Amino acid sequence: MNRSIALQKSDVGVLLALQLALIAVAVGGYLFAQGGGAAQAAVYGGGIAMLNTWLLGRRVLQASEIAKTHPGQETMVLYVGVVQRFVVVVTLFGLGMGWLGLQPVPLLIGFAVAQLAYFVNGTLIRARAGTQVERLR
């Protein structure tokens, strides 16, 4: 297996772990402040975000593999992935708020809090890169 692909898989794993930790904090807050119904909605919203991250990671790995054999085609794979993730997220939001009757605000907050993991992960990567640059000096 290519080292860059292994690195990408571990990056997705780290991102999913960060999302899980942030979702746990949001769910705990909702459980304490508003009870089980709000916490359940936050879990559902966070789960949507985690599924979205997993789908993104899968598409990026697929695009990396396609780029090796069919350069230029990887862009189409990524575009298809964007549409797929959009449809999945909108459908799951609709199911959660409509059919399941989950509270909309905690659901959206759970989703948004999980998205903060991208920011946290980026900050951690920049901090590690800065540390490595300092070691080289």
pLDDT tens for the chain, 137 residues long, are 444 444 566 778 888 989 999 999 999 999 999 888 899 999 999 999 999 999 988 888 888 888 888 877 778 888 888 999 999 999 999 999 999 999 999 999 999 999 998 888 878 777 776 665 455 55
In the structure encoding, which two tokens stand for residue 58, read together?
Answer: 């899968």
The DSSP output letter for 72 is: T
> Which of these, 117, 1, 103, 13, lies nearest to 58 by C-alpha position?
13
Task: Tell me how far apart the alpha carbons of residues 122 and 117 are, in angstroms, rounded to a whole number.
Answer: 8
CB atoms within 10 A of CB 83: 9
Task: Tell me how far apart the alpha carbons of residues 17 and 40 are, in angstroms, rounded to a whole number.
Answer: 19
Length of the chain: 137
pLDDT number for residue 49: 95
In the structure encoding, which two tokens stand for residue 18, read together?
Answer: 């960060």
Residues 6 or more apart in contact with residue 72 via CB below 8 angstroms: none
Task: Tell me how far apart the alpha carbons of residues 103 and 90 are, in angstroms, rounded to a whole number.
Answer: 16
